[in-house]
Amino acid sequence: MSEDIYMPGATTVGLVCKEGAILGSERRYAYGTFVMSKVAKKVFKITDNIGIGCAGIIGDMQVLSREALAYMNIYEYERGRAGTVKNAAKLMANLLSARRLFPYLAQTIIAGVDNGSPSLFVMDPIGSVLEDKFAAVGTGAEVAMGVLESEYREGLSVDEARPLILRAIRSALARDISSGDGVDLLVITEGGIKEESHSLVKAKSE
């Protein structure tokens, strides 16, 4: 049976910028040629300064985000301080690695800000962890990564990074039939997390 039946398409991207980090994903949830939903959420707030973006099975994304939220709350209660982005990445890696023989079908990007310093980690379904300045996962990742590779630069402001994220996702939507129907963003700064929604029409005007 085709692997596409088990791994729905998606395009999820993230990058770090001068004031923080941004995660973004389109909203389509498709199995092959069948679109199950046009409002699927694939970016999630974990703490006041950490978010995750996923590509894969929606149920697996939701379970992982809930588990991460619960464990990060426990960490803060026991240690008396909020967990860092690196703590969240290691936690997610452990959750994924523990299921490596029957893995969650989700690729994950974790990003956030610790004491004014933004960071981003990307991981595969069995828990490999890589730190980077930008990343893309999902069936549209190759196209989105091409845009990020050519246009990303150190020291981008949030206002400069937002349209770059939108351009990267929009480029993937033009080539990946499994991605589409608008974009959700998490804009993460030291002041907190702001959730935004952008229609395709609005994204084209960016």
Q: Looking at the annotation, which residues are catalytic?
A: 11
Q: Edge-to-edge, what's the strand order for the sheet holding 183-189?
A: 134-138, 11-16, 20-26, 183-189, 192-198
| In the block, residue with structure tokens 């300064």 | 49
**Measured distance between the N- and C-terminal CA atoms of the chain, rounded to whole angstroms:** 40
Q: Give the type of residue at 111.
A: A
Q: Edge-to-edge, what's the strand order for the sheet holding 50-56?
A: 43-47, 50-56, 106-114, 117-123, 129-131
179, 175, 177, 153: which is closest to 164 by C-alpha?
153
